[in-house]
Amino acid sequence: MTTPTELAGTADEIIGRNRQLDHRLRDLVAQAPADRLRADPGGGEWSLAENLGHIAEFPRFFGRELALVLDQPDVDVEVGRTHEHPERNEAVAAAAGKGHEQLAREVDAALAELGGVLDRLTDHDLQRVVSNRKYGPESLATYLQRYVLDHKAAHIDQLGRTFAALG
Average pLDDT for 6-23: 90
Cα distance from N-terminal residue to C-terminal residue, the chain: 22
Residue 102 lies in a domain: yes
Amino acid 74: pLDDT:
86
Instruction: Provide the number of structural domains found in the chain.
Output: 1
Q: Is there a domain that residue 4 lies in?
A: no
Does residue 1 fall inside a structural domain? Answer: no
Question: Which domain range does residue 117 map to?
Answer: 11-166
- pLDDT at res. 73: 87
Tell me how far apart the alpha carbons of residues 69 and 143 are, in angstroms, rounded to a whole number.
11
Question: Would residue 95 count as lying in a domain?
Answer: yes
| pLDDT band for position 7 (cuts 50, 70, 90) | low
Yes or no: say if 87 and 95 are a contact pair by the CB < 8 Å rule. Answer: no
Q: Is the pLDDT of residue 1 over 50?
A: no
Assess if residue 34 is contained within a domain.
yes
- Domain for residue 2, yes or no? no
Look at residue 158 and tell me if it is in a domain: yes
User: Is the whole model's pTM more than 0.85, yes or no?
Assistant: yes
Helix (H) or strand (E) holding 27: helix 11-31
Supply the pLDDT for residue 3: 39
Would you say residue 12 has pLDDT above 90? yes
In the three-class reduction of DSSP (H, G, I as helix; E, B as strand; rest coil), residue 137 is classed as: strand
Q: Are 34 and 99 in contact (CB under 8 A)?
A: yes
What's the CATH code of the domain at 116?
A: 1.20.120.450
